[in-house]
Amino acid sequence: MERNPCFLLVFFLILSCFVAESYGAKEGPGCSSLAYGAMEELGPFRVHSDGKTLYNNNFHGMRIGNAVINDETDNLGMYDYYGNHALTSPETVQKIHQYCNFSPDFVSKQSRECNLASGKADHDTADIDIYNIYWPLCHNGNLTAKPKQASLAYFDPCSDYYVHAYFNTPEEFMANGLRVWIYSGDTDGRVPVTSTQYSIAKMKLPTKTEWYPWYLNGEVGGYSQVYQGDLTFVTVRGAGHQVPSYQPERSLSMIKHFLSGNPLPKGSSSQRPFATVGLQQCTKL
């Protein structure tokens, strides 16, 4: 990372995707994109500092672990795996093969016999951690005030509880002295800016810096408000749910300011001469 700062930026974008964006870290690396064709899906190119030309990315590529790449074969293979590992009966698996069709044209039109057979297999495995069939279940999901000590030798089966709680609780990060930026694309209707504002309001944090527009290239890039405890709320103007895909330049500016520890730049009326001219014209009427 020290040899190639762009790799650090890519790492940050991937990390921000997995811990911050969209439904509790369930999206893949696509949300780390900065521009279609250039940085889409950790692509083969990066953008030079001039913002116009590209150079080869020596770190491009993608790894897919335990891949879900074909719904038809994935579903059939899953139920066969249940049978091969004695998690459900051979008769149940046989009925799934006989009555179920997992192809895209039929997946939502399964017969009653298929639903009964697949439901039986799902019921048989309901009390097993299906992500590791021989691992114990989490029997104590209680959370602690501070993050628990991680172990390289033992995987904690309750880790999902911690991840969901800590990654979705900005107060936890703030209590540990970490800066927190929460950002929203202001045209996203699925997780809209209003919902995020309501959630922040429930924290009852005093305002440190009042709501203000931030600027990029002389235009409003979005709005920002800073709260006591080092929490910053940022909107990106004109961006939808996958913020960097819709507004790559504004997203990059936001990320650069976050990494440098600097607030987003405030503007002034002098950056909007057309507004001043319009006001002068009105006063002459």
Q: Whole-angstrom Cα distance, residue 43 to residue 55?
A: 11
Q: Report if residue 248 sits inside a domain.
A: yes
Q: Report if residue 107 sits inside a domain.
A: no
DSSP-derived 3-state class of residue 182: strand
Q: What is the DSSP letter of 270?
A: G
Indicate the average pLDDT of the chain.
78
Q: Report if residue 212 sits inside a domain.
A: yes
Q: Report if residue 225 sits inside a domain.
A: yes
List, for residues 213-266, the tens digit of each pLDDT value: 999 999 999 999 999 988 999 999 999 998 998 999 999 999 999 999 999 999
SS3 content of the chain, % helix, strand, coil (to 5): 40, 15, 45
Q: Report if residue 202 sits inside a domain.
A: yes
User: What's the full length of the chain, in residues?
Assistant: 285
Give the CATH number for residue 61: 3.40.50.11320
> Containing domain of residue 171, as a range?
5-69+147-260
Of 230, 237, 241, nearest in space to 253 by CA:
237
Q: Report if residue 266 sits inside a domain.
A: no
List, for residues 137-146, the tens digit of each pLDDT value: 888 767 665 6
Which of the given ranges, 42-56, 67-81, 201-215, has the highest pLDDT on average?
201-215
Q: Whole-angstrom Cα distance, residue 268 to residue 215?
A: 9
Is the pTM for the entire model greater than 0.75?
A: no
Please tell me the total count of domains within the chain. Answer: 1
Strand partners, 213: 223
List, for residues 266-281, the tens digit of each pLDDT value: 975 444 443 443 434 4
Q: Report if residue 75 sits inside a domain.
A: no
